[in-house]
Structure 1
């Protein structure tokens, strides 16, 4: 009986051993299938000095140099409104006018008062032995006295004011532009304190933005800028720096303005992104994709005999797409520009494209 149990145990151990060998063989085959020994595919470029366009990016706001708020000078009913918001107008075009009945009446009364005071002035001069036609010969003290006594100066001021109010009962555009902020209604009494409407010349738009104090040497009046509104996608327009305010504020920022070419889609007060580009001459430049981080340091891989060699580098100025390389690399080096995320030092690579 003992021999029987011993024989059964030996058969069981043999079965388990064979099963283990088969399982290990299957796992090895599975690992080989999941982790193939593939060569990394990369794209490369040959490093040569190229013109580097330094780029400064800032946020700003649009405003028009020609911007005016128009008001009526008299509190009279609004007889006619000829324009509406968004309408383009030309210089001298009539915008709105008041009911002139009272203004015309007031001007006529002021004219009568002025004529009467002129007669009174003439009588006083005759009493002094002078004629009104010879007023240039009248001594200054005498002329001042008779003008004051006749009320001529006061009457003249009242007439001029009445004529001014009647003339300004009609609002006209002071320059070519677009009507904005028009909220008044016809037949309502015009307010002399509130703005009737605003005229904006969209051809005089400029972007106001700030740059760091340290960036001042990189900009100057006349430099080209690119302006893009945040609210409208795929709309960009060009401009030129028009002025740099010679004052650094408490935050180390300097105010800059740039004229903007309007394409009919920009508005006063829009928030925009301003990009300033300026050539800094020949530099060793690599795409940003070529620079990766290893242990917190910047690394650029170069290709040497179909292997990737990493190089610790220091980058200088940058723009939206490129870095300036300050050291380590030299002209003629072949830089790996993509496929470098998981590369190791001296890893074999295969070049699929050369830029």
Structure 2
């Protein structure tokens, strides 16, 4: 009787796994490294996907997210480099860490082409330029802000989530294009910089626009422009840089998942399928929309091609800006 009951329970367990799509060789659990603080838009991507990849041929249980903030996201990728190449560790990163940093840091602790394998793009973000109470309410456009900066050089600063990040360079290119000196203030992620803009310690910030939306709608800061090809669907009242005469500042950055080099194609494929399935979940799509992100998956090959294209685009721009990690 006991044996029969055990047999029935075993069959029921197998049926449950089959229904979830899990396989006997699926990982028990996985972790997702993220190189910026909890609460930022990318962190939300990591956590929403982590919840929804359970019960797949990739992993049985929900993944857990491990924040490793600092060095503009490089600490998390350095940790990924030394992780086992068995799929148990992934990292979520903006493309700046793999496509731009090689042009910035002569002693980068990882080689994106050699040390990592692209798995899937996860979300698209539009960067924004926002100003707070330091800048008078009469400043309503990018050109207004530049004019104000010329007249107020001591206060003409802007923050970004990291030195050498895409937002840092958007601000730098904006100043260079008009011959206006904008002092850059790097932060460890978006949240502390946005807090300083709202609090009046910092004039402006360039960062993913989703990190501004709640304060923009509450009237605590003003988003002057976004970097997409079209206006952000989440703040359609805000014009793009291109609409205001700055087409070279059109940038649509993505967050993407990476695995350590040497991870088998079968594991990468399983992780890719699990991530792309998660990105089709309506609750996830809506949740990312709250922070201004568009859920967008890809194949591993598409992600690799996009990374290579961004690497080629940003090399001359970084040289033009003249910034290095040793600056």
TM-score normalized by structure 1?
A: 0.18
Structure 1 or 2, whichever has the larger Rg, is 1
Choose between structure 1 and 2: higher strand proportion: 1
Choose between structure 1 and 2: higher helix proportion: 2
TM-score normalized by structure 2?
A: 0.19
